[in-house]
Each structure stands twice: as structure tokens, then as C-alpha cells.
Chains A and B, each alone.
Chain A
Amino acid sequence: MNKTRKIEITVELIRIIAAVAIAYAIALLTLVVFSDEPVYIIQQFILGPFSSMRRLGSVINLAIPFTFTGLCFCFMYAVNKFNLAGEGTFMVSGCLTALVAIKIGDTLPPAVMIPLLICVGALVGVILNAIPALLDIKFNANIVVVSLMLNSMLVFFAIWILKYKMRDPSIGSLGSYLLPENALLPSILGKMRIQAGLIVAVIAVILVAILFYKTIFGYKMRVVGNNPLFAKACGINMVGTIVAAQLIGGALAGIGGSCEILGNYDRYKWVASTQHGFDGLMVAVLARRNPALVPVAAFLLAYIRIGADVVNSKGDIPVEFITVIQGIVILLVAAEEFMGKFKKNMIYKAAEESLAEDKKEEVKEILEESDGKEK
């Protein structure tokens, strides 16, 4: 049986690589039709993100919010609750972080200010995610519907805050007052200009991985998510675990929103949903719900996005086209039975091999047994 396990893991890896390869192949084929210089475009798409330190920095910078929301959705997956409030949470916590920063102003040193603002983001995340979580547990309200509706409300809530609480009338476009200097996350790693949120993200990944696989709470969460009936029969507190997991997930999405605003902007100016939440859902699926793999998946997604930007600026292909390729990758990776036949055939083959060995042994045993009897 050990062989079966190995085959399952190997095929899983091959499957993801094949999915990406197929997506690129389809992209190339389509590019041949739509573009005058398909090879150049595809080259830019694949190699562009690595062509300069600046671009590599952009990839990592983009991977940071994906990591936070990806972790958020790992929690939702772990307890089998599709609480999608992470999307709105990201935007609103960015908004409220900006508001608090502007209100406090230059009074506090960065060492106090930044952690405080990140805590604001986390707190916003906890509160917002508690709404669908509690409605689900208390009133059995469909969590997908509730959280999606909540997202629409949150978008307009954030716009309202921006328009009526912190709009800077001195600039032409819709935007908040300048964020105070002491609240901004510094750039790190020199030329790559990566926001310091990276450090927070790395810490978050490590802590979440430990929480998932080493702690009592993580254990409970996994049991509840894997088989709720079994958890109930063993006396595991389901309600508490399910709600707590969603709140922690919400906090992570909230921190993501704060870091994004403090790391990449000088003023708050989001007027539409940022999609970081739904991207996080995608990242969690790509990472097979394993928090330790979330940064890898986030990097992959960010790499595709930046590749798209590069192509967009250099070639004759619109950025929407790239979204299609992205869709294909996700589709193939998420389709668990993709290459299922290949996996099964490998398993059959391994089983047949060990079968042949077993047979030899058993025949030998029987022969010995009957020899023994004759004596």
C-alpha cells in the first residue's frame, strides 16, 4: 500500500506541472492566431517577470497579499466552510487602517504605529468574518450567500468611508489624505523594492503551518473539517473550532489588507473590490489547502500576473487574454480527476507487480506446508 501513496504524491506533482504546461501550450496556439509575433510574446510572458530585479520584486510584492488571503482560505477549507468574506475584509481593513493612520497622524513612532495599524487590520478581519460565521452556526444561514452579500456591502462601506471621512479634496481623483510617514512600511531588499509586509507574511506562514500541524487547535480543526460526524462522536467541540478557524482566517485577510495599503500606497484610493480575496481562494486551491505551500502558489499566481503586465506593455495582446490562461491553469489544477486514469493505471501496475511477488511467496509457503505434512 505504501507504493500507492508514493504514486498518489508523484502523480499529484506531475499533474500540476502538466496543467501549467498545457495552459501555456494553449496560450501559444492562440497567440499564433492573434499576434504578429507569438514567440516573442510567449517569451516575454514566461521570462519577462525574471528579466530584471525590479520585476522580480514586483512578483514578490504581488505574492504578499495573495499569501495572506491564501492562508485565510486555508482556514475556511480546513473546517469546510466557504466563508468568502475574505474578499471584502481585505478592502475594508485596508480602508480602516488608512483612516486610523490618518486620524492618529504623526504622533507615534513607526515601531508603535505600524504594529498598531496591523492589529487594526486583524481586528477588522475578525469582526467582519464573525458575521457570516455566526449567522451560519446560529441560524443555519447559507454561508456562501451571506458572505457574498456581505462583500457587496463592504465595498460600499469602504467607499463611503473614503468619500465622507477621509477624502482629500485637494487632489483631482478620489483618494484619501496622505498617509503619515511613520505609518508606511519601508521597502526592503534594495533594488527589488519589496514592501516590508513580506516579513509579516513569512512569519504568518510559519505560524499558520505550526498551528495547523503541531497544535491541539490545528488538530481539532483538521478532524472537524475531515469528518464532522466523527468529530462529534469523539466529543470534539465543533462549533467553537469552526468559528475560531474562520475568525483567524479573517484576521489574516485583514492583516493582508493593512500591509497592502501601508506597503504600496501613499494614500487610500480603492473604489472597487480588489479581488485579492478570490485570488486567495485560488491560491488555497493551488496549494492543496496546505498553508506551507501557500507562498509557492501565491508566487505562481503573481508570476503569471506580472507576466501578463509585461506582455501588455510590450506586445499587442490585451491583459484580459492572460486571464484566460490563468483560468485554464486553475481549472486543470483544481480538477482532481485530471490524469486520474494515468494514476489508476500506475496503481494497477504496482499492484500487479506486488501481486506476482506475493504469489511466488504463497506458493512457496504452501509447498513447504505440504512437505511438512508428508514428513
Chain B
Amino acid sequence: MGMQKTREIPRFLCFQCQASERSCRWQLLQVKIGGMTMAVEVLRMEGITKIYGNGFVANKNVTFWLNKGEILALVGENGAGKTTLMKVLFGLENPQSGQVYMDGEPVKILNPLDAISKGIGMVHQHFMLLPSLTVAENVVLGIEPMKNGLFDFKKAVEMTREVAEKYKFDIDPLMKVSELSVGQMQKVEIMKVLIKGAKIIIMDEPTAVLTPQETEELFEQLILLRENGHSIIFISHKLEEVKRICTRVTVLRHGYCLGSYDLKDMNEADISRLMVGRDVILKIEKEAPHVGKTIISIKNLVKVNESGKTVLDDISLNIHEGEVVGIAGVEGNGQSDLSDVLSGMGGFTSGTVELNGSSIAGKTVHEIRQMGLAYIPEDRMEYGCAGDMSIRDNIIADRYFKKEYRSGFFVNRKYIDKIVDQYIKDFEIACDDKNQPVRMLSGGNIQKVVVAREFTSGSNFILANQPTRGIDVGAAEMIRKTIVKKSREEGTATLLISADLNEVLECSDRLLVMRKGKIVAAFPKANEVSESELGEYMLGLKAMTAEQMGGLL
């Protein structure tokens, strides 16, 4: 069923290549065939195996190559080994075995400086810019022009302008980076790489932080770069993007390379099947919510942070029993501050927040949790777990004091063991046993531990901040489904804050957009909103008036 014979053969052969020497021969054949279309190989990574210090094997005998002037998509679920492979290429990680070839010559890449000198540039997922400096100063960092022993700012601006003109970047070299939008910052990152003469550019999930409009601009830029003879490795798990701008795709799964394919023979479903090994249900089936009484009520909430910036600007909103309210927005527009206020981790300046009828002002986290809060924090390693402690110890962290979990001064080990075993089963946490330190689990399983704790706390308000960031599709799917299921079956009120547009569109009933600490748009039905419409509100191209949002908050 499903795949046609023609596609089946390369997949099988290529997988086999991982097991035996035959693979290489087959791939060489491919190159020969490709040779007829004049593809010149600029980079080849052969048999890369990378094992981390904790025993985790991130890359298992991975082989892939990059042709001159192509955009190659590197796809795979989170944790499939894409980033590790690129870190190896960029000299950030040392592989246990494998060889890198550039223009057919074997090379050894010692460190990022070495990689840059060999013409490899990397645009990181998290920008590495100095916000207080100008664009020009950031761009020339590392190759600063000097005059009389001093930094030559004029020359720096000139150099930046030159690159900007050559590659049609519409950006002012004199602007401070802190004044730029996320999309513009990314352009600065790309310019940084170009000015150092990179011929191979690695883009690590470049569209993850961009709005749909900014993504369009980036794509135009990438195509221009390709035409200028640059080769680009494009890491993404958004398949429609891959299909649009890439010519070939290399698929990784669980650290293995499942081969490289010409994209004209593949559709999105084929790629996703290779990535995940099964068909992923991207749509969550959900019935209309039975909205009940108000669980949390936020009125005129204002927060001015320590540096005097108004990060939450007069936010009012109610969340009712049985509904999932999503908040979309470009990161850093007050979502984290809102989550801090609601979870009791940070205070607020004015306004009221009532959870189940009583105000949370001045209450400790413990008290707010007792009032009905469950909280999935944004950063699971920092706020969501204690890495060196066991799964059991992590799961009981919010309830160890409850009657059934203790016997006098002592921990009720027997009862806890029973409960934790049950959760490990229910939430499909892949582990040795409940005594395993959490740090040894994969990202997705760590998040499952967090979710197992928060979803079983008996609270009727769940604050989920980026609940599926950076975890594999399977775990993400389970978490999203559970959020919806809890709201439908148990009447939980949920506030879902996410930078993943797909996620908020899929899971939410009502959808709000936050920008600069304000709610700028409200939609009664999340599944009727298009991504591009959402993008316009996120970017501030459009904003709803209070009347338009009336009754929707």
C-alpha cells in the first residue's frame, strides 16, 4: 500500500548502505548519473558517527553530499541528528569516525574558525549578535578593518554596504541591532557569513522564528545566493518550504541517514513518512468546546520590568472551563512575561488576576498551584525538571506534601512508585525505569515527564508555554492531543502560548495574537484563521480595535 515501487527501491538500497559497503557504490552511481547534469560536488561527509559524552549516538554512519549551486534540504524530526551533523561540519563537534571532503579533497575541520577559512558559514538558530552595536560593527566582527591601529568604522560601513548591495539586502549598516526586527537580524547573520567569503552556507531552521512574510523574503534571498554560486544546506522540518526552494533532500531519522532524494520525485507525504517512519496525523480531530464558567480572569494587567519597559500593556482576558485559548506572536512580545505572572514566578505592576475566584496577587507559587494552576514552563531543563534526580523525584515535585504521598515525615515510597509506574506507562515515557536520572532521557521524554506531572496534578487551569518546543513529532503529537482531550473530557481551561503557528492553530479554540505586550487580535475560531493573516497581526501590519475584539477576550 502507499508507496510506489520506484520510490521503494532507493529507500531500501540507501538504508542498506548504512549496513554494508554497498551503499557507497550505489551513491557513487548516483553521482555519476548526476554528473551528466553537470552537478559538481563541493562537499561530502562520509560515514560520520558522533557519540556524545552521555552515550547518546546522534549520528550513525551518516553520508551525504552537497552540489555546487544547490539548496539541499536536511530534514528529520527533532533529535534526528541534523544539528549535530552540521556542528560536525562547522567544527563545533568532533566525530568519532568519518571523513569530510571538500571539492573532492579530504579535509579536517578543527574548529569554527577553520571552517570559516575553508569557506563554510553557519547561520545559527539563535542569533549570535551584539545588540548594542551597529549592523556594520556586527557584520565585520572577526575581520575588523583597521586604520592606524584603530578600528576603522567608515571602512566597516563601506564593506557592509558592498555586501548588502551585491546580495540585495535592504538594511542600513548604521542601525543598531537592538532596533532591528527578527527578520532583519537574520539578514545581518547571513551578511556576517557572506562577508567572510562563505561558499557553503548552513541555515539551521532559519524560518522557525520568522513570520510568513519574512519567510518569503528569506527565500528570495536564498535563491539569489544560489544563483551567485553559493551552496546552501537548509535545515527545516517544514516540508512545504523544503518542497518549494530545495532541489534535493537528505533525510535523517534517529541518527541514521535514510538517503538523499531528488525532490521532483517526492511529495510532502513521502518525505514525512521517511522522517517519522509512519504517517503523521497533522490534524487533531476535536469537537466544539463546551464552555463553562470562567476559570481565570485577567483584567487590565500591566507589568513594567526592572529596566522600566512596559512588557505587558493593559491585558484583559478570560479563559473558561473546557476551552483552549492560544496565544500566537513573535517571541519576545510579552508572552514569557504573561506566563511568569500567571505562574507566580514574577510579579506584576497593576491590574488583577483571579484564578478560580481569588486573586493571585502576592501569592507564592505553591499557593497558586493549590488554587488550581498547572504550569508547563518554556525552558524544561531550567524550570521543568531537576536533571540529576530520578523520574520519580521529578514527578512528585509539585505534590510530595499531599496526604497520600507521605506517611508522616516520610515519603510514601510504595504509593509513589505505583503512581509513577502508571504515569510512565500512560505517557509512554521511554526509560530504563523510574530511578533513571532525567538528564539521561531524550528531550521528548524529558518533556513527557514534565507533562506527566502537570497533567495529573488535578488542576483545572493549565498554563502551557511552548509545550512542544524542540521535541520529536511523536511526543509533540501526544502532548497536543492530551491538551485537547483534557479540555474536552475534564473541562480544563488551557492557555497555550506557542511560537509554533501550526500548534496554536491546531489546538486552540480561541486564538489571540500578542505584540509589544498587547493583545492585537482575537479570533473566535482558531481553525478558520490562515497563517498569513496571523502573520500580518504578529508583524504589526494590522491590528484589531477594541470593538472588533469585543466579547472575544
Contacts and interface: CB of A to CB of B under 8 A. Distances in A.
A339 interface: no
B53 A347 contact: yes
Interface in A218-273: 219-220, 222-223, 226-227, 229-237
B411 A216 contact: yes
For A219, A234, A352, the residue with the greatest tally of chain B CB atoms inside 10 Å of its CB is: A234
Interface stretch (B190-198, B229-237, B377-385, B514-522): B377-385
Given A226-B387, A235-B369, A236-B366, A1 B397 contact: no
Contact of B389 (A7, A217, A222): A222
A227 B54 CA distance: 20
Nearest to A343: B53
B400 A216 contact: yes
B64 interface: no
Contacts of B387: 226-227
Contact of A373 (B8, B57, B366, B398): B8
B15 A219 contact: no
B298 interface: no
Interface in B33-57: 49, 51, 53-57
Contact of B12 (A214, A350, A366): A366
A230 B382 CA distance: 6
Nearest to B97: A352
B51 A347 contact: yes
A223 B441 CA distance: 18
B63 interface: no
Nearest to B379: A229
Given A216-B400, A233-B383, A235-B368, A373 B1 contact: yes
Contacts of B96: 348, 352
A219 B385 contact: no
A211 B383 CA distance: 25
A347 B55 contact: yes
Nearest to B365: A235
Contacts of A373: 1, 8
A3 B51 CA distance: 14
A344 interface: yes
A220 to B, nearest CB: 7
B343 to A, nearest CB: 7
Nearest to B440: A1
A229 B382 contact: yes
A15 to B, nearest CB: 15
Contacts of A235: 344, 364-370, 398
Nearest to A211: B409
A138 interface: no
B436 A1 contact: yes
Interface in A1-30: 1-5, 7
A372 B441 CA distance: 33
A209 to B, nearest CB: 13
B60 interface: yes
Interface in B393-417: 393, 396-398, 400-401, 406, 409-411, 413
A223 B55 contact: no
A151 B436 CA distance: 40
Contacts of A220: 400
| Binding site secondary structure of chain A | helix
**In which size bucket is the chain A interface?**
35 or more
B209 interface: no
A222 B393 CA distance: 9
A237 B57 CA distance: 39
A232 B345 contact: yes
A4 B432 CA distance: 11
Contacts of B15: 363, 366
Interface in B432-452: 432, 436-437, 440-441
A215 B411 contact: yes
Contact of A227 (B343, B385, B406): B385
Contacts of A226: 386-389
B53 A223 contact: no
A335 interface: no
Contacts of A4: 54-55, 440
B16 interface: yes
Interface string B328-343: 0000000000000001
A219 B396 CA distance: 10
B184 interface: no
A171 B399 CA distance: 61
Contacts of B413: 214
Interface in B489-545: none
A234 B55 contact: no
B12 A223 contact: no
A4 to B, nearest CB: 4
A351 interface: yes
B385 A230 contact: yes
Interface string B183-219: 0000000000000000000000000000000000000
Nearest to A233: B383
Nearest to B441: A1
B19 interface: yes
A172 to B, nearest CB: 52
A214 B411 contact: yes
Nearest to B385: A230
B455 interface: no
A77 to B, nearest CB: 13
A308 B364 CA distance: 54
B383 A229 contact: yes
A53 interface: no
A370 interface: yes
Contacts of B368: 235
B18 interface: yes
Contacts of B383: 229-230, 232-233
A264 to B, nearest CB: 34
Contacts of A219: 393, 396, 400, 411
B348 interface: no
A135 interface: no
Contacts of A355: 57, 60
A366 B343 CA distance: 47
Give the 4 A-B residue pairs with the shortest CB-CB distance, closest first. Answer: A235-B366, A4-B55, A235-B365, A226-B386
28 contacts: A1-B55, A1-B432, A2-B432, A5-B437, A5-B440, A214-B411, A215-B410, A216-B400, A216-B406, A219-B400, A219-B411, A222-B386, A223-B389, A223-B393, A226-B387, A227-B385, A230-B382, A230-B384, A230-B385, A231-B397, A232-B383, A234-B369, A236-B397, A347-B51, A347-B55, A348-B96, A359-B19, A373-B1
